[in-house]
Amino acid sequence: MNKMEKIFVSVVNNQDPLHSESFEYQSVFLSKVRPDPTNGRFLPSVFISDEDARLFIEKRLSKRQLVDKYEAEERVIIGKSCIINCMKYGSQEWSKAQKSVDTIIELGDNIAVCEMIQVPTIYPLDSGDFQILTGHRRFFALVYAKGYDSYEQFKVYDRKPLFTKVKQFQENASREDLPQYGKLQAFQNALSEIEALNKARKGAGQRALTIKEVAANLGISMGAYDNYNVLTRYPSVVKAYEEGNSLSFRKAKKIVITIESEFKLAEGRKALNAIDKQTVSETIYARMTGKNQVRKPATDMYKLEPIRSAKALKMLLTSDVTQIDCGVNWQTVDWEDHASISSALVQLSQYLNQDQSQG
């Protein structure tokens, strides 16, 4: 058992292990705060001094000069009343960053005229600086509204929380204004911490947390947990949202479940192997985005379920199967569509096996 697992085991013996860290509210200089590049709300950025921001606004410093001075290529420059998207114009990265820029400006304008209700949370680093735990957008907006040289109030933990990703997910999941991609990424990160905790518990002879307990510690209902679990089952769902897809989680979940069911029926599968899952993942991506990236099968083979008796095989070979009342409407089968034909054949073979076993 490694050191972290030992810490997990000792901590979980407390009454509320995932939420027990102490904190207080403090005023901290913004220049002492560092964003977390592993957070889903992270924006590749550089912060400039209030003086340089003023000179840029007064057109006494150019964008090129700022980029060179702060090494800001492929980043977003943020300063007091100044925010510049330096990603390659028109690229996917530029579009993603621009959405964040628009949000930061709107939030910054609000902060400039009214008090922030929920301040960012941070924890101390060995260097004497602070790491953002939650509230990246709010921090960026503070720099935009108040300036990088100013100081503001933060919720400051005494030390780095043991379950940082769980805490980040708890905040992301409760906010309706955050994009779906950030929520899914936060869920995956939080679940990795829970899995490490369960491994430590098992190593110490304790049982793993139940799904109900996991959901409770993540701060979500069992229904919400199931939604997240389904949506993170295939990488293509997360990829689609990362690229800016705006489908609701409800609609995306329906797509995932529908395509899984269709594939299992068409291929006669009860469980999916790795190759099946890749095909399903690509189909989901195509359905969600409208981009047809599904690889065509190497061969369009038609498969029946294994025939389990000689009687069933005899009926298949000697009968006009289109006259058998097996639940297939042969008039509506699309003979140009591989999936439609496969689905009919699977349904037929299931009927033959069931009928002959009963007879």
Q: pLDDT tens across 45-93, in order?
A: 999 999 999 999 999 999 999 999 999 999 999 999 999 999 999 888 8
Whether residue 33 sits in one domain with residue 143:
yes
pLDDT of residue 43: 87
User: What's the pTM?
Assistant: 0.67
Q: Which residues span the domain enclosing 282?
A: 234-295
∠ CA(298), CA(301), CA(303), 5° rounding? 140
pLDDT reported for residue 15: 45
pLDDT of residue 48: 96
Strand 45-47's sheet: what is its strand order? 45-47, 76-79, 82-85
The total domain count for the chain is: 4
Residue 1 pLDDT: 52
Same domain as 14, residue 103: no
Within 10 Å of residue 326's Cβ, how many Cβ atoms? 17
Which of 201, 232, 263 corresponds to the end of one domain?
Answer: 232
Residues 104 and 227 in one domain: no
The answer to whether residues 150 and 238 belong to one domain is no
76 and 47 within one domain: yes
pLDDT at 290: 86
What's the pLDDT at 358? 58
Residues 152, 167: one domain?
Answer: no
Predicted local confidence at residue 120, as pLDDT: 94
The answer to whether 230 and 253 are in contact (CB under 8 A) is yes
Q: Which helix (H) or strand (E) holds 10?
A: helix 3-12
How many Å is the maximal CA-CA distance in the chain? 91
Q: Are 27 and 134 members of one domain? A: yes
Provide the pairing of β-strand 76-79 with 45-47. Answer: parallel
Residues 105 and 45 reside in one and the same domain:
yes
Of 232, 247, 269, which closes a domain? Answer: 232
**Which residues in the chain show pLDDT less than 70?**
1-20, 40, 176-177, 292-301, 355-359
